[in-house]
Structure 1
């Protein structure tokens, strides 16, 4: 597994040499853009619209647009100074919290942490302490010139670091338009919705979920490579077109679920039998 960062984790006076590895990978199928006439990949050039010419990399500077078409130019020397001041190769655990106290909206990317030379014992100590306490560590780390807030927790038998957003990076739910505040819910519809949720409730098993679009796209690519004719399959609508009211949709959904009676239904049946 490729190492993307080397440094240390510290909590209190304990220091653990570690390596950082990407825990996830993007498996999107990358498509290129070609010139339709000759099937040649399209090139992209950096053009200055005022000078009307292509601009070389050495002619480009970085800037912050603080108002429309008003910029503050930032020199590479200035950026490098800030980078060096904040790029200490350490994950400093600031405090410990319970995982359930952090809403999933804050989570960004996941990284595996492995012990570097001389870090085995301290690594095992932190792992065991986190397991037995049921807590996770809240830490700070600088990756690629950006200071990140992160959490350190145990995943299977490995320490996992997950970068999380700062509070001011998460938009307020109050700004979302058209959210019903005191919409009256019909009791019968609520009971039917709860029954549907109960029927569809299972133990989470990530292995049974697959990217159907990616699979279909790869199959399409293979068929095109082999010169086969491709025809699209028609998909049945989730709800018949004539079902315009909510109750009908809920009842139709329940009929489609073929499953043994689960907790709520079994308890109801037991009460009736008693």
Structure 2
């Protein structure tokens, strides 16, 4: 597994050499843009918006636009110095908190943490302490020239570093338009909705969820590679745009889920009886 960052994590006077490895991977299918006539890749040139000249990489500088059309130019040496100063610091766990106190909206990207040279004992100590206290650590870390707030937690038998957004990066819910302010829900509707949720409730099994769009796109690509005829299915049901009666929709949903859920419950009951026997 590729190491994308290495350094030290510390809490108190305990320092743990660690390595970060990306825990997830992007499996989106990347599509290229081609010239329709000759099927050659499209080349995008970097041109100056003022003089119209094509700009070479060595002639490009970075800048911050502090007002419309006004920039502060930053030298690469200056940026590199700041990056180096921050990256050389040990990552210190600032606080320990309950995981339940952090709303999922803050979470961004997860990394696995492995032990660096000579860090096995300290790594195991922090892992066990987090498990025993049922808490997570809050730390700051520089990743790819950006300071990140992060949660350090235990996933199965491995320490994870989960980057989270700073509070000012989360937009205010007050700015969300068209959010109903009052509850005008009848008790019968609420009870029926709760019943539907109960019927659809099951143990979380991530293996049952698949990316159907990606699978269909890969099938299409493979079919076209082999020069086969493309058959477009018309089985999909059109989405109804009209708002139907809420109570009727809830009841119809419950009726549709009954047979399948009853079979699942019977299977679970049968397995439980077999285990107990």
Q: Is the Cα–Cα contact under 8 Å of residues 199 and 262 in structure 1 kept in the other structure? A: no
Residue 23 of structure 2: aligned partner: 23
Distance 1:60 1:241, change over 3 A: closer
Q: CA deviation at 1:241?
A: 7.4
Paired with 2:264 and 2:46, the residues of 1 have a C-alpha distance of 60
Paired with 1:53 and 1:113, the residues of 2 have a C-alpha distance of 46
Q: CA deviation at 1:124?
A: 0.7
TM-score by length of 1: 0.91
Give the 4+ runs in structure 1 shifted more than 3 A. Answer: 235-243
Paired with 2:62 and 2:242, the residues of 1 have a C-alpha distance of 57
Paired with 2:239 and 2:194, the residues of 1 have a C-alpha distance of 19
Q: CA deviation at 1:88?
A: 2.0
Paired with 1:262 and 1:229, the residues of 2 have a C-alpha distance of 39
Superposed counterparts of 1:1-274, under 5 Å: 1-237=1-237, 244-257=244-257, 258=259, 259-260=261-262
Q: CA deviation at 1:71?
A: 1.5
| Structure 1: gaps spanning 5 or more residues | 264-274
Residue 270 of structure 1: aligned partner: none
TM-score by length of 2: 0.90
Task: Please give the root-mean-square deviation of Cα atoms over the aligned residues, in Å.
Answer: 1.9
CA deviations on 1:186-226 (whole Å, 9 max, x unpaired) are 22211111111111011111111110000110011000111
Q: Is the Cα–Cα contact under 8 Å of residues 89 and 142 in structure 1 kept in the other structure? A: no
| Structure 2: gaps spanning 5 or more residues | 266-277
Paired with 1:75 and 1:235, the residues of 2 have a C-alpha distance of 58
CA deviations on 1:91-130 (whole Å, 9 max, x unpaired) are 2111111111000000011000001110011111111111
Residue 272 of structure 1: aligned partner: none
Q: Is the Cα–Cα contact under 8 Å of residues 243 and 249 in structure 1 kept in the other structure? A: no
Paired with 1:39 and 1:240, the residues of 2 have a C-alpha distance of 39
Paired with 2:34 and 2:178, the residues of 1 have a C-alpha distance of 42
Paired with 1:57 and 1:261, the residues of 2 have a C-alpha distance of 63
Paired with 2:241 and 2:105, the residues of 1 have a C-alpha distance of 35
CA deviations on 1:230-250 (whole Å, 9 max, x unpaired) are 122224438777872212211
Paired with 2:47 and 2:80, the residues of 1 have a C-alpha distance of 26
Q: Is the Cα–Cα contact under 8 Å of residues 136 and 152 in structure 1 kept in the other structure? A: yes
Paired with 2:241 and 2:26, the residues of 1 have a C-alpha distance of 37
Paired with 2:242 and 2:11, the residues of 1 have a C-alpha distance of 61
Paired with 1:242 and 1:18, the residues of 2 have a C-alpha distance of 55
Aligned pairs, number: 263
Distance 1:77 1:185, change over 3 A: same
Paired with 1:82 and 1:233, the residues of 2 have a C-alpha distance of 56
Distance 1:201 1:239, change over 3 A: farther
Paired with 1:238 and 1:135, the residues of 2 have a C-alpha distance of 47
Paired with 2:263 and 2:188, the residues of 1 have a C-alpha distance of 19
Secondary structure, aligned partner of 1:231: coil
